[in-house]
Structure formats: C-alpha cells, structure tokens
Amino acid sequence: MSDPQHVLAARVQAALGAAFGEPDADPVIRPSQFADFQANVALPLAKKLGRKPRDIATEIVAHLDVSDVCEKVEISGPGFVNLTLGPGWIAGQAQEMLGDARLSVEKTDAPQTAIVEYSSPNIAKEMHVGHLRTTIVGDAIARVLEFAGHHVIRDNHVGDWGTPYGMLIELLLDVGEGSEQAKLLETDPNAFYQAAREHFDSDPEFAQRSRERVVKLQAHDADTIRHWERLVDLSKIYLHKVYGRLGVTLTDDDIRGESFYDDMLGDIADELQAKGVAVISEGALCVFPPGFTGRDGDPLPVIIRKSDGGYNYSTSDLATIRYRVDKMNVDRMIYVVGSQQALHFQMVFAVARMAGWLPDGVSAEHAQIGSVLGPDGKIFRTRSGKSIKLTELLDEAVERAGAAFDEVPHDEPFDGETRRQVVEAVGIGAVKYADLSTARGSEYVFDFDRMISFRGNTGPYLQYATARIRSIFRKGGLSPEEATGPIVLGHEAERALALHLLGFGAAVHQTGETTEPHRLCAYLFDLASAYTTFYENCPVLKAPDEATKASRLALCALTLRTLGKGLALLGVATPERM
RNA sequence: GCGCCCAUAGCUCAGCUGGAUAGAGCAUCGGACUUCUAAUCCGACGGUCGGGGGUUCGAAUCCCUCUGGGCGCGCCA
C-alpha cells in the first residue's frame, strides 16, 4: 500500500473510530493546495453530530497517529485537516515501488470476470475512424482491467452474418478466390463490398442469386457455409493487418461474431414468447420494455423476430448476454460501442432483465464512445462524404511524424530502419493517444497538428519524456535496472515527482472502475510534467555528489518504468530513442 | 414527444463522483540552449463555468426548469 490517499484514509478512519465511534465515515481525503492532502470529513461529521467543525477537527487530530507518515498536520479554515507527508516516508514508498515488479499496484481484492466487447467491425466493410476509437479505447480498458487483477475476456463481436453476405459470396464466386478483386478483401474490404453492392443494384440476375444465397446461408447449406467461411477468413487477414499495425491485443480467438449466436436465436424468441415477455405486434415478435416510448409517444418495441421470420441484432445481443452469463460466468459486461447505440443497449438490457437472463449480480455497461469529428465539427469524412480509410489515416499520421522528426536535430544519428520504427511508433502513438486522452463519451475534433505536437497532453510528449530518461542512462553508461537508489528527497522537484509517482496504482484502478482511460492519460501527463520540472532543475549525471546522483538515477528509473507501464496499459509504444 | 451525450479562457479540452483562489495545451506577448535531447522549459495575458431557481456550512460538480447544439427512436447493424 503506497498510495498516500489510501494510507491517509485508513489513518483518519482509525481516528474517527477512536474519537467518535464512526469508523465507517468517509474521511474525504483530497489533494490540497495548502498541503499534500486534506481531510474534509470534519465538516459533514460536525453536521451529523451537531457540533462545531473545528472541534471535530481538533479531536480527529488528537486521535490521529501519522507520526511515521506526515511531517505536519494542521487544522485550517472551517475545519480542514491539512496533511503534509514527510520526505522520508515518500522516499521509502518510492523505494518500495522501485523494487516491486508491479510498481506497487495492488491486485484488486474483488477480482471479477469481465468481458470487454470492442472493435466489432462489420467485416464486410472497411474499418474507419469510428471503429478506430472503439478499438483503441476498448483495448486499453481490457489491458487496464487485466493488470488490475481481473479475469478479462476480450470479445470482438464482429458483424459476420446477415443479408450482405449473400451478395458478397456471389461476387467472390464470380470473380474467383485467387483473383485481383478477391484480394481487395485483404487490403480494402470496403471496395469489395461496394463492388458487390453495385452488382446487386444494377444486375437483377445477380441480385436474385444473392437473395437465394442468403436463404441458403441461413439454412446452413454446407456448400454456402464453406464459401462464407472462406470469405470471413479473407476478411480476417485484413483485420490482422490493422490490429497488428495498431498494436491491438485482439486475436482470432477473441472473435465471436454474430454468426456464433445464430443457432440460439430461435430459442431466444421461443423463450421470450413462452414467458409472456414478448408479444406479436404488426406481425413481428416484440418486447415492449416499460418506460420506452417512440416519436409518437407509443411504447417502443425491441423487435425479436421480424414479420418475415428473420432476426436482427437485438435478438443476437440477447443471445449474447444469455450465453455470457450462463456459459462464461461473467460478472461484468462492458460494451465499448458508439454513443449512438445508447438507447438500443438500454432496451436490450431491460429485456434481458425482464427475461431473467441478466441477474442483478451481473452488470452490463455501455461504455459510450463519442464520435470523431472533422475540422468542420461534423462526423469525420472526406470531401466526397465517404468515411475516411483507416490505413490512409494512419499513413498520414506516420508521414507527419516523420516530417517533424526530420525537422529537428538529434543527439545521435539514426539509421533508416530505426528512423522508420520510431516514426511509426510516434505517428501511431499520437493517433491512439488522441483517442484515449479525451473523455471517451465526448466527441472530439480530429486534428493531426494537435495530436502530433510534442507539447501538451499528447502521445509524442509522453514518448519523448521516456526517450530523454533513456538517454540519461545511455550517457551514464548504466541500465535503468541498475539504478537502485537509495532514494533521498532534497529538492522540491524531487519530492513532487516522487509523490506523484505514488499515485500510479490509484490512477490504474480508477481507470478500470470507470472504464475511462483518459484518467490514466491525465495522470501520465501530470507525471511527465513533474518529471520535466525535475529534469530542468535537478542535474542527474552532474549531480553534486554520488549519493544525490544515485537517488536521482533511481527516480529516473522509476519514472521511466511508470510512464512505460502506463503507456503500455494504453497500448502506446515507447521508442528507445527519438 | 421520449432517451443518451454536451454547453467551462479567443480555439481544443480537463476538472479525480460536493471542498478553500476553476486548470492544461494551442493562439498572443515576453524570456531561457558553450549545461543529461530546445521535439523542451519558465513567465504574462485570458473565464459572472449557457440563463434562472433549489439542496447545504460549501456547487463547474447533485436536483428542477429554460435556452441552445449533437446523436438515436418498428422490422438495417
């Protein structure tokens, strides 16, 4: 336990128990501008006990045992208890963190099985900027929860079933698997989809074959399934490429697409009807969860089975919930999906609860992802109105990172291959970090210049901070692992840096609980800022004496590992040099 | 009409689930490289937190209401 906030909370709580018999009261420890932290509990407690806040504060302090942690405790204002940590304690905790493989980040004491559904592209189509954000944010959430000690199941709920596949299969059969056009599935699936669409719209014979193919597909005709599998396999090659380049942890094993649930849909419909939850309305089997109304004020249905007998994605989502609860025993489901689908998920969750498939002990959360906007403030698209190709977007980011790289002098020369790797890491990291650093539900304006800037809360700034630290170790002729301290805090910048380092675990856990990676981003940016102040004020290799040098090297090593681990949890690479 | 998200500095965004004097980056202005990477740093300027009520010791934060935006709302996913 190195997080000062938790340590102080426990101590103040003990004091509350001893003084007032209120060991369960929240001590309300917050960062303070007048000290390191302040306990605000005296004010609400005074209200509850009908006494003066300052008297309460005085009594808390009288019972407070923090002599080993704090160097100063004082009461100020109406009853705030200001707590200033002792440099010795901070140094000791930092030293412990340095020696711990997990950087003193404790595993949760309440581990859950959490399934994170993210990315989930429709594999018939090209991924675009919208998929980018759900993919990146979802991957970060999965990594963070895993590190926090939860059992994480990644779930790529791809769209791999339904009406479009009739025409896609027919086109694939027409052009042949080895053809140039079929290769589009591996490089530009959207182009293949659009070609199929064109045939479908212009060629009645093709359209007819496509419809027949859909029927065969849904009837699990063996030959058709074989073609469909081939089509899906080709599309996976494209997914591999994109995920590989992005450094996303999704694998084929994580793909559990809509097709997986297809044979459960009939059961879902039957059971809902048998339970009396679903009713026939206008020829379709519907559930009307209470509290949802449509445009005209009428109850809004979740359509379970269309009037033509087909199923749509609500049914598939219900089957998914039931499967995850019954077969996978998940405690928590996290849907990293665009905010446009908020209403859909509310209704599906409501139906699942009505049907008894989603028990109270299992949480289902829609981690809403805001849209990415273009410079005009509208959904990011090209001039022609098409969605922007992901690969082209990444290429441009890398190209711009390369231009910035070439503009500035470097302390050591780079060979071509190293330059290529660095620029790739910076360009991709910039795009990913931009997606992660704004609150996930917020829309944000996509701006290359801002995200590739080396100032402010950006990926490159954080990467640069790690590169500068590594540079110190190279120049000093030792590895970060060799810097073991002891850590002694003299300069104010050293103290501030060390104190900030201790907050890493809290930032990680908070990020996992809220599924909000931007909190971790904010922590890392503040950490990098604290390091930069230290860097400007405290010479490391030219420290005044050996003890100071050893301590500062240890702080550098600890900062490097913390930034590196934090960025790794976000899925952002950290090049050795820049 | 209903639901979700949003409105904070000229611009782009934070604000840690109610704490003391609301913060960053960009832009503007002024400084710092014979010094571990200046792709950096330090200052200055800049906000009646959309309006109005309420809850209480205390509100950008919670509740209500109004205004103004974005998105979604029966057989697409």
Nucleotide nearest the Cα atom of A464 (by C1'): B39
CA of A118 to C1' of B32 (A): 47
Distances (CA, A) of A371 to A239, A338, A564: 21, 7, 28
Nucleotide nearest the Cα atom of A447 (by C1'): B12
Element (H, E) at A573: none
pLDDT at res. A444: 84
Q: Is it true that the peptide bond before A486 is cis, omega within 30 degrees of 0?
A: yes
CA of A360 to C1' of B53 (A): 37
Whether A136 contacts A248, CB under 8 Å: yes
Please give the Cα distance from A563 to A578 (Å, whole number): 16
Please give the Cα distance from A234 to A505 (Å, whole number): 42
Helix (H, G, I), strand (E, B) or coil at A540: coil
Q: Residue closest to B58, CA→C1'?
A: A43
What value does the mean pLDDT take over residues A420-444? 93
Element (H, E) at A384: none
CA of A71 to C1' of B57 (A): 29
User: Per-residue pLDDT tens for A74-128?
Assistant: 998 889 999 999 999 999 999 999 999 999 999 999 999 999 999 998 887 767 7
The end-to-end CA distance of chain A, in Å, is: 35
Nucleotide nearest the Cα atom of A453 (by C1'): B39
Q: Residue closest to B75, CA→C1'?
A: A306
Q: Residue closest to B71, CA→C1'?
A: A340
Tokens 């509208």, residue located: A378
Element (H, E) at A291: none
User: Per-residue pLDDT tens for A516-535?
Assistant: 999 999 999 999 999 999 99
Please give the Cα distance from A214 to A472 (Å, whole number): 62
Q: Bridge partners of A155?
A: A117
Please provide the average confidence, as pLDDT, over all residues in chain A: 91
CA of A358 to C1' of B73 (A): 24
CA of A45 to C1' of B66 (A): 36
**Residues 6+ positions from A310 with CB-CB distance below 8 Å:** A218
Nucleotide nearest the Cα atom of A445 (by C1'): B12
Nucleotide nearest the Cα atom of A338 (by C1'): B71
User: Per-residue pLDDT tens for A5-63?
Assistant: 999 999 999 999 999 888 888 899 999 988 999 999 999 998 888 888 999 999 999 99
What value does the mean pLDDT take over residues A316-328? 97
CA of A186 to C1' of B11 (A): 40
The model's pTM is: 0.95
Whether A355 contacts A275, CB under 8 Å: yes
Whether A72 contacts A84, CB under 8 Å: yes
Q: Residue closest to B12, CA→C1'?
A: A445
CA of A131 to C1' of B4 (A): 20
Please give the Cα distance from A509 to A506 (Å, whole number): 5
pLDDT at res. A77: 86
Whether A107 contacts A145, CB under 8 Å: no
Nucleotide nearest the Cα atom of A513 (by C1'): B17
pLDDT score of A206 more than 70? yes
Choose among A33, A90, A88, A42: nearest CA to A64: A42
Whether A305 contacts A284, CB under 8 Å: yes
Please give the Cα distance from A37 to A64 (Å, whole number): 15
Whether A555 contacts A534, CB under 8 Å: yes
CA of A364 to C1' of B73 (A): 21
Nucleotide nearest the Cα atom of A163 (by C1'): B76
pLDDT at res. A381: 64
How many helices (H) and strands (E) chain A has is answered by 21, 13
CA of A298 to C1' of B66 (A): 26
Confidence of residue A1 (pLDDT cuts 50, 70, 90): low
**What domains sit in chain A, N to C, each tagged with a CATH number?**
4-85 (3.30.1360.70)
CA of A278 to C1' of B9 (A): 53
CA of A99 to C1' of B24 (A): 32
Q: Give one word for A532, left, alpha or beta, with left for phi > 0 and alpha for psi -120 to 50.
A: alpha
pLDDT at res. A387: 62
pLDDT at res. A177: 84
pLDDT score of A390 more than 90? no
Q: Which pair of tokens denotes residue A530?
A: 């604290």
User: Per-residue pLDDT tens for A460-517?
Assistant: 999 999 999 999 999 999 999 999 979 999 999 999 999 999 999 999 999 999 999 9
Nucleotide nearest the Cα atom of A45 (by C1'): B57
pLDDT at res. A412: 79
Q: What is the ipTM of this complex?
A: 0.94
Nucleotide nearest the Cα atom of A541 (by C1'): B36
pLDDT at res. A382: 56
Distances (CA, A) of A521 to A434, A437, A438, A461: 10, 5, 9, 12
pLDDT score of A384 more than 60? no
What value does the mean pLDDT take over residues A428-432? 95
Nucleotide nearest the Cα atom of A157 (by C1'): B77
Nucleotide nearest the Cα atom of A525 (by C1'): B24
Chain B positions with a protein C-beta closer than 7 Å = 1-6, 12-21, 23-26, 35-42, 56-58, 70-77
Q: Residue closest to B20, CA→C1'?
A: A77
Taking the mean position of all CA atoms in its chain, how far away is CA A215?
Answer: 39
Whether A265 contacts A315, CB under 8 Å: yes
Locate all alpha helices (DSSP H) within A252-380, ordered by sequence. 265-274, 313-326, 342-355
CA of A258 to C1' of B48 (A): 53
CA of A84 to C1' of B45 (A): 33
Of A295 and A430, more confident: A430
Calculate what percentage of chain A has a pLDDT beyond 90: 70
What value does the mean pLDDT take over residues A167-172? 92
CA of A343 to C1' of B40 (A): 46
Q: Residue closest to B13, CA→C1'?
A: A438
**Residues 6+ positions from A221 with CB-CB distance below 8 Å:** none
